[in-house]
Structure 1
């Protein structure tokens, strides 16, 4: 092979391996060597890529931290709002009790006053009989009228017996009046205490609501800024980054739902195997008539905003929604998720039917930490008034804090 042929073969091989644009730069200088990135260029590019990846990871971590902070603020408000709902419901009970106790005390006082009047009348009648100088014994001595004596003595005995009866009635009435007066005073004190607690709980809930609203607003602003940075770094658009974050959040919620469902099933198996609380818990019977009405009513509220302590018609909190939904079906529930749990028959999660209620707590072993309730509309799905910044919606029942038993209002 000649030298010319060899050179031609090498040139053809080089041309096939190098882009046309690169070859264009070589024209005019047949003797020039191809330009390749140096090791320094490669290292710099790798460093830039690593820095970009680190920035993306940092921004993603900040977004996750923001979501955690938002979740914490919403849970804190949910707890505070439930504390207020419970305190308000208890205040209503204490007010009704105080009103009933005072009414009973007033009736007892009136009965005592009547008994005292009757006692005074009997005493007056007996006094008049003696003071008039009449005596059965004097009658028989002066007239020999034994029959008159017997009849007169019977009259005195009757008067004396009647007086004893009236005295006993008066004593009983006095004791009842004193007892009911004490109960009324205690009920009034309990009402005043409940009023103070309700006011304090409302103040705490308002603070939590203000804080949650602030977190919601700041989170939105920070999220917008972070998404803009992510879009720049990854050479996408803010819209695509928003879609990506929504997808990541959906994945997170799905994972949490799967974990909550697995935990609930494990708890149910453990309860069944060990006898659990079946013997001590009042279990629900067949689904309550009117459950369909309650579900339809709740679904008609979709899209209305969550407002703590609200019970409609334009906004709701969690227990306000379930209370009004069941009220539409003729069942009275208190405006408190804890009381809706404690006051109703229980049902296993596996046996939930439309209209049943499911509950969420910070400690699932302690019902006093319940802070949220939703209404089942289909297997694994509920309608709820979720939290500040959100509207009445449907969602999975499976999430962190799910209680192992629901309730069936009746």
Structure 2
């Protein structure tokens, strides 16, 4: 009995000294659960992580594509809206020109009628004063055909003194009446063409606006869904993921601004070296009233963008700058392209509050300008940006910035 007890005690002591894994190898010992992941567990976890990372990357790429599509739609609308603004401003010019030409034609026609009447009186007097009963004017007076008389310069030799001047004046009045009537007709034709172009541009802009509005709504809905999926995959809250996406977008915009600034500075240096740079009309000192224009623009912060609008409740880009400078007594056309072409230029390094900066699809071609903003501080502007956004302040540095701004006066 004592020998069996001693043997059992020794076996227990020996077992206690062995590692746990070794106990499982002893005859009759029970199998224990592993205390670390198996290789299969590691492989499965790695595959799951890779799959999740791929999903996250895919969702992030979809978000980027969404933003790119939205940017493209907004640019398309910006271009179409500017086409309409320019066409409308051109129509206003053509209408004013047509009205002025018609008024000039009416005055010339009235002057010609007066000259015809004076010439008729001269013909009558000459007829009554002829002793032999015949003169060139007698035929005119009896037939009443003043036109033949006006055109017949040869009859001047039959008139004495100041009477010759009457015929000259009548002939000149007729020529002026004819030329001004032709100018008025051409101006009316140009006005009609401008009306047609403005109507077509408006229809195009409306289609672009409808498309942009649809893209804005769809993008927001899809973005919300993608962010929710990302939050689930990464085991974060939707709010935290929204903050993360906002941060990523801010980083993207900062990188784009830095690239745009470098590109604009390079373009400015190139423009300064070009042979045509000397012919550019440069602005003088800052315009009086620039502070008033800036204050007016800032007073519109938060109001919605609406293409072709110039206040008071909504604005497009050139409508805002036109409205702001009007408060300072400076008249600008409702067109960013015309606001560029019609004003003295300023280098980007010399911009002052109130100056205007412009954006184009081709920075070497001002005819592709589609956006304008007003400088309020170095590197900062106030703008009416695009559909779905409100009047805001932002960096002037973005893709498409022209190397020259303008200084309204």
- Provide the TM-score with structure 1 as the length reference: 0.87
- The residue correspondences of 1:33-44 to structure 2 (distance < 5 A) are 33-35=32-34, 36-44=36-44
Q: Which residue of 2 aligns with 1:88?
A: 88
Q: Which residue of 2 aligns with 1:334?
A: 333
Rounded to whole Å, the distance in 2 between the matches of 1:317 and 1:325 is: 12
List per-residue Cα deviations over 1:70-105 (Å, max 9, x = no partner).
000000000000000000000000000000000000
After TM superposition, give the deviation of residue 32 of structure 1 in Å.
Answer: 4.0
Q: Which residue of 1 aligns with 2:50?
A: 50
Alignment pair present for 1:264 and 2:255 = no
After TM superposition, give the deviation of residue 31 of structure 1 in Å.
Answer: 5.0
Question: Would the aligned equivalents of 2:357 and 2:396 in 1 still touch at CA under 8 Å?
Answer: yes
Q: Which residue of 2 aligns with 1:220?
A: 220
Q: Which residue of 2 aligns with 1:203?
A: 203
Q: Which residue of 1 aligns with 2:318?
A: 319
- SS of alignment partner, residue 372 of structure 1: strand
Question: Would the aligned equivalents of 1:362 and 1:401 in 2 still touch at CA under 8 Å?
Answer: yes
Alignment pair present for 1:404 and 2:400 = no
Q: Which residue of 1 aligns with 2:356?
A: 357
Rounded to whole Å, the distance in 1 between the matches of 2:274 and 2:55 is: 53
After TM superposition, give the deviation of residue 268 of structure 1 in Å.
Answer: 2.3
Q: Which residue of 2 aligns with 1:345?
A: 344
List per-residue Cα deviations over 1:192-246 (Å, max 9, x = no partner).
0000000000000000000000000000111111111111111111111111111
Rounded to whole Å, the distance in 2 between the matches of 1:6 and 1:66 is: 69
- SS of alignment partner, residue 116 of structure 2: helix
- SS of alignment partner, residue 397 of structure 2: coil
Rounded to whole Å, the distance in 2 between the matches of 1:98 and 1:240 is: 62
Alignment pair present for 1:294 and 2:293 = yes
Rounded to whole Å, the distance in 2 between the matches of 1:337 and 1:162 is: 57
Question: Would the aligned equivalents of 2:112 and 2:173 in 1 still touch at CA under 8 Å?
Answer: yes
Rounded to whole Å, the distance in 2 between the matches of 1:406 and 1:42 is: 61
Q: Which residue of 1 aligns with 2:128?
A: 128
Q: Which residue of 1 aligns with 2:193?
A: 193
Question: Would the aligned equivalents of 1:123 and 1:163 in 2 still touch at CA under 8 Å?
Answer: no
Are the structure 2 counterparts of residues 132 and 306 from structure 1 closer, same or farther at C-alpha, using a change threshold of 3 Å? same
After TM superposition, give the deviation of residue 275 of structure 1 in Å.
Answer: 4.4
Rounded to whole Å, the distance in 1 between the matches of 2:362 and 2:12 is: 87
After TM superposition, give the deviation of residue 39 of structure 1 in Å.
Answer: 1.9
After TM superposition, give the deviation of residue 271 of structure 1 in Å.
Answer: 3.2
CA RMSD of aligned residues (A): 2.2
Question: Would the aligned equivalents of 2:358 and 2:373 in 1 still touch at CA under 8 Å?
Answer: yes
- Provide the TM-score with structure 2 as the length reference: 0.87
- SS of alignment partner, residue 161 of structure 1: coil
List per-residue Cα deviations over 1:25-47 (Å, max 9, x = no partner).
xxxx9854341432222211111
- SS of alignment partner, residue 368 of structure 1: helix
Question: Would the aligned equivalents of 2:271 and 2:403 in 1 still touch at CA under 8 Å?
Answer: no
Rounded to whole Å, the distance in 2 between the matches of 1:206 and 1:299 is: 28
List per-residue Cα deviations over 1:304-337 (Å, max 9, x = no partner).
0000000000000000000010000000000000
Alignment pair present for 1:247 and 2:241 = no
List per-residue Cα deviations over 1:8-53 (Å, max 9, x = no partner).
5666xx79xxxxxxxxxxxxx9854341432222211111111111
After TM superposition, give the deviation of residue 277 of structure 1 in Å.
Answer: 3.5
List per-residue Cα deviations over 1:151-207 (Å, max 9, x = no partner).
xxxxxx996222211000000000000000000000000000000000000000000
- SS of alignment partner, residue 278 of structure 1: helix
List per-residue Cα deviations over 1:268-327 (Å, max 9, x = no partner).
23333x245431100000000000000000000000000000000000000000001000
Are the structure 2 counterparts of residues 348 and 126 from structure 1 closer, same or farther at C-alpha, using a change threshold of 3 Å? same
Structure 1: gaps of 5 or more residues: 16-28, 134-156
Structure 2: gaps of 5 or more residues: 1-9, 22-27, 134-156
Q: Which residue of 2 aligns with 1:176?
A: 176
Rounded to whole Å, the distance in 2 between the matches of 1:342 and 1:186 is: 25
